[in-house]
A and B are shown apart, each in its own frame.
Chain A
C-alpha cells in the first residue's frame, strides 16, 4: 500500500476508553505515519493492548476519535474497517485442525467476496510468502493447535501481513521469540513499513523499540508520557520513571546509538 493510498496514516485524537466503566486509556493523542514503524512502549498494565484495540476499532472510544487514512473508524462497517486496519492480537490462535497456511490465508478474509469462505490458490501463495518472510515456511502444513508459542506468534503476524492493509497494528509480537526470532519479526515489520504501511507495534521491550522504531510513544498508567524519535522519547529519565530501570544510550560504532539497560532502580 503506497503512502498516497492512506493520507494521514492512523490518527488518534483525545482517545479515552476501557471496559465496563473502567477507564484504561486516558485522552491519548498520537499519529502513526505511513511508511514508519511506531512503537507503543510501556510496562505491563500500562494500557498498550487497550490502546491498540481502540486504534483497531475493536473497542469504541468513550471520548475522542480514531481515523485511518482520513476515515473515522467508528463510522465504518466491520469489513471496511478490517480492510483499512489489520490487527494482530497477542493471544495465540486456537483453531480446530486447520493448517497454518489456511489460518494465515484467512487473514485475507475481509478482501473476499461476501459469500466466499475458503482461501484460493492466490491466498495460499500469499500466506506462504508471508511465512517465508518470517522464516516460518516450514510451519505451513502443520496444524495451528500444534504450534509452540513462538511459532504461533509468527503465524499470527503472517495472518496480519497477508491482508496488505494500509495500517498494521501488532500486539507484543516478540514476547515468545528467541533473539533470532525477534530480529526476524522486526525485519518483517520494517519491510512492511518500507511498502508504505503505517506499522504500530505495542511492546514492553524498549530496547528493541529503540533499535527499530522510527517513533516511540511511551505509555504509563493509560496516558502518553513521551512521544517522539527513540532518542527523544526514551530518555534515561522517562525510562527510569516508567520502567524502574536505569538505562544509558551508548554509541555503537557502525550501528548508531543503542539503548542499554543497566540496573533496576
Chain B
C-alpha cells in the first residue's frame, strides 16, 4: 500500500474512532461519557448499541456502494439510487406481513437480500435496453427506486397498523431503536462482508476498466460482477434490517474514499466501508443533537444522509460524472 493510501486509511479509522466516542458521549440525556473504569450505565449502553449499529450500517452501505460502483465503473451507481435498499425493504415488509410477525434474522436477511437483488436486476435490465450509458443507469435506477419507495411505504404502513411494529419510519432510516441484537448484526455482518469482498478486489479492478480488458486478463466479467452484486445485496439487506433506508451513504463514502486513498479498489473499497461508518455516525449524532433544538424527540439519521447525499449527487451531476468521468 502506498504512503498516501496508508495515511488516508489510518485517517479514516481514526475519524471513526473519534466519531464513535462522540456518538457515545452526547445526546438529549446530557453528557454522559462512559467512565474510564467500571460498568456503563443503561443510557451509556444504549448509546454504545446505537453507535455500533450506526457504524456497522455505515460500513455495510459504504461497502455496497463501492462494490456496485466498480462492478459497473460508474461513480453515480449508489445502491439507494439503483433501488437495492428499496427492494430489500419491500421484500422485508412483505415477508413480515405474510408471517404476521417480525421474521427471524436469518430468514429476514435472506429475503431482504433477494429483494435487493431483484430490484437491481430490474434496474440493470432497463438500463441494458437503453444502452447502459452512465446517465441511463441512473435514470433506470430512479424509476425503480421511486416505484419501490411507494410500494414500501404502503407495505410498511400496513405492517405498522396490522402488526403494530415499527413501519413507515424505516423509509428514513433510524438508529433510535437499536438493540443489542441490532448492534451485533451490524458489527458482525459488516466485518464478515468486508472480509469476504477482499479476494474479489483485484478482479473488480480489472472489471472497472471494461469487460474486454477483464476477460483478456482471465477474469470472467459476469462471475466477478455477480459476486460483487451478491455481496452488495447482502450488505444492503443487513443495513435495512438494522436501520431501514439510510440513503446516499453508498454514494458519498466511495467517492470520499477514492479522494482519500486513490482509485485502486484494493485500497478504496475497505476505505469506503470505514468512511461509510464515519458518515453514518456523524449523521446520527447530528440528527440526535438537532432533534431537541427542533423540539423533536428523534430525528431519523436518514434525513441527514439524504440531505447531504442529494447535494453531493447534484455536485457530481454538475461535474459531468454522469457521462462516466470517474472521480
Q: Do A and B bind each other?
A: yes
List residues of A whose CB falls within 8 A of some B CB: 56, 58, 77-83, 86-89, 91, 93-99, 102-103, 106-107, 109-110, 112, 115-118, 143-145, 156, 159-160
B248 to chain A: which residues have CB within 8 Å?
Answer: none
Whether a CB of chain A sits under 8 angstroms from the CB of B73 is yes
A95 to chain B: which residues have CB within 8 Å?
Answer: 73, 208-209, 263, 326
Q: List 5 A-B contacts (CB under 8 A).
A: A58-B215, A94-B73, A106-B209, A115-B199, A118-B266
- Taking a contact as CB atoms under 8 Å apart, the answer to whether B73 and A109 are in contact is no
Contact residue among B208, B216, B263 (Cβ-Cβ distance under 8 Å from A87): B216
Task: Provide the B212-236 mask, 1 if CB < 8 A to any CB of A, else 0.
Answer: 1101111110000000000000000
- Taking a contact as CB atoms under 8 Å apart, the answer to whether B212 and A89 are in contact is yes
B267 to chain A: which residues have CB within 8 Å?
Answer: 118
- Taking a contact as CB atoms under 8 Å apart, the answer to whether A97 and B218 are in contact is no
- Taking a contact as CB atoms under 8 Å apart, the answer to whether B217 and A144 are in contact is no
Contact residue among B213, B218, B325 (Cβ-Cβ distance under 8 Å from A110): B218
B212 to chain A: which residues have CB within 8 Å?
Answer: 58, 87, 89, 91
Complex: A95 Cα to B206 Cα, angstroms:
8
Closest residue of chain B to A93 (Cβ to Cβ) is B209
A107 to chain B: which residues have CB within 8 Å?
Answer: 217
Contact residue among B73, B205, B217 (Cβ-Cβ distance under 8 Å from A82): B217
- Taking a contact as CB atoms under 8 Å apart, the answer to whether B266 and A109 are in contact is no
Number of interface residues of B (CB under 8 A): 37
Complex: A119 Cα to B92 Cα, angstroms:
41
Whether a CB of chain A sits under 8 angstroms from the CB of B150 is no
Whether a CB of chain A sits under 8 angstroms from the CB of B262 is yes
Complex: A24 Cα to B101 Cα, angstroms:
58
Contact residue among B198, B263, B325 (Cβ-Cβ distance under 8 Å from A98): B263
List residues of B whose CB falls within 8 A of some A CB: 1, 69-70, 73-75, 198-203, 205-206, 208-210, 212-213, 215-220, 258, 262-268, 324-327
B326 to chain A: which residues have CB within 8 Å?
Answer: 94-97, 143-145
Complex: A78 Cα to B215 Cα, angstroms:
8
A103 to chain B: which residues have CB within 8 Å?
Answer: 209
Complex: A173 Cα to B294 Cα, angstroms:
63
Contact residue among B70, B198, B199, B210 (Cβ-Cβ distance under 8 Å from A89): B210
Q: How far is the CB of A152 from chain B (nearest CB, A)?
A: 10
Complex: A98 Cα to B265 Cα, angstroms:
8
Complex: A96 Cα to B259 Cα, angstroms:
11
- Taking a contact as CB atoms under 8 Å apart, the answer to whether A96 and B202 are in contact is no
Q: How far is the CB of B218 from chain A (nearest CB, A)?
A: 3
- Taking a contact as CB atoms under 8 Å apart, the answer to whether A88 and B216 are in contact is yes
Complex: A145 Cα to B209 Cα, angstroms:
9
Complex: A199 Cα to B128 Cα, angstroms:
35
- Taking a contact as CB atoms under 8 Å apart, the answer to whether A106 and B205 are in contact is yes
- Taking a contact as CB atoms under 8 Å apart, the answer to whether A106 and B206 are in contact is yes
Closest residue of chain A to B202 (Cβ to Cβ) is A117
Knowing A89-B210, A89-B213 are in contact, say whether A98-B205 is a contact too (CB < 8 A).
yes
Complex: A118 Cα to B198 Cα, angstroms:
11
B208 to chain A: which residues have CB within 8 Å?
Answer: 94-96, 98
Complex: A145 Cα to B134 Cα, angstroms:
14
Knowing A94-B324, A95-B326, A97-B258 are in contact, say whether A82-B218 is a contact too (CB < 8 A).
yes
Complex: A93 Cα to B206 Cα, angstroms:
10
Complex: A77 Cα to B266 Cα, angstroms:
24
Complex: A103 Cα to B212 Cα, angstroms:
14
- Taking a contact as CB atoms under 8 Å apart, the answer to whether B210 and A94 are in contact is yes
B213 to chain A: which residues have CB within 8 Å?
Answer: 89, 93, 156, 159
Complex: A87 Cα to B219 Cα, angstroms:
13
Contact residue among B198, B220, B263, B324 (Cβ-Cβ distance under 8 Å from A117): B198
Q: How far is the CB of A121 from chain B (nearest CB, A)?
A: 10
- Taking a contact as CB atoms under 8 Å apart, the answer to whether B268 and A116 are in contact is no
Additional A-B contact list (12), CB under 8 Å, known A109-B202, A118-B266: A78-B218, A91-B210, A94-B210, A95-B209, A96-B70, A96-B73, A97-B268, A97-B326, A103-B209, A109-B217, A110-B218, A144-B209
